[in-house]
């Protein structure tokens, strides 16, 4: 059992998608809490978004569920259904295999913080980014690769 204080966990900004829209995600700050306490079947992250910053490029997963809970501030959930406001305590889930891409955006003038929890099945999960003709997949050796939606290889993931 690992006990770690969130203040001791470093933040990272590893948005490496090979598309122009990733510029909106570069200033997010993500703390990988699950990794810090030795959990590897699912991810648990604390994420901070300054005004104007996105959580990620809009996406959906083929084989893993995702869960988000807003801790503080105000976020806008952007899906195929449009935009919805989320505030502190609001929760939303994204079921695997449901082709409704999502991302969070901070449209407010203040910092927003949320928690995200998601499955880890890198051997079978693919992430689809329909707005950007992009898919994140794996080669047989486990190497992460980006493909166009028609299967054409873009290159290895960073």
pLDDT at 155: 64
If one counts the domains in the chain, the total is 1
141 lies in some domain: no
φ and ψ of 109, to 5 deg? -105, 10
55 lies in some domain: yes
Question: At CA 32, angle to CA 89 and CA 59, rounded to 5?
Answer: 70
156 lies in some domain: no
Dump the DSSP string for 104-118.
EE--SSS-EEEEEEE
* Helix or strand holding residue 36 (H, E): helix 33-36
Its domain, for residue 33, covers: 11-123
**Model pLDDT for residues 8-39, shown as the tens digit of each residue:** 999 998 777 888 888 898 899 999 999 999 99
**Model pLDDT for residues 88-117, shown as the tens digit of each residue:** 999 999 999 999 999 999 999 999 999 999
Q: Look up the pTM and report it.
A: 0.91
Average pLDDT over residues 66-78: 98
Residue 6 has pLDDT above 90, yes or no: yes
First to last CA, the chain: 31
CATH number of the structural domain spanning residue 68:
2.60.120.10
């Amino acid at each position: 059992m690992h006990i770690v204080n969130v203040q001791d966990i470093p933040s990272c900004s590893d948005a490496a998608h090979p598309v122009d829209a990733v510029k909106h995600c570069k200033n997010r700050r993500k703390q990988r809490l699950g990794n810090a306490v030795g959990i590897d079947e699912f991810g648990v992250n604390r994420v901070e978004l300054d005004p104007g910053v996105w959580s990620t490029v809009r996406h959906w997963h083929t084989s893993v569920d995702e869960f988000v809970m807003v801790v503080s501030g105000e976020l806008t959930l952007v899906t195929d259904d449009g935009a919805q406001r989320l505030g502190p305590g609001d929760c939303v889930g994204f079921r695997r295999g449901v082709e409704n891409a999502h991302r969070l955006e901070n449209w407010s003038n203040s910092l927003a913080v949320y928690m995200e929890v998601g499955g880890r099945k890198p051997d079978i999960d693919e992430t689809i980014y329909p707005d950007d003709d992009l898919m994140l997949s794996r080669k047989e050796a486990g190497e992460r690769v980006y493909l166009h939606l028609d299967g054409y290889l873009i290159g290895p993931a960073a």
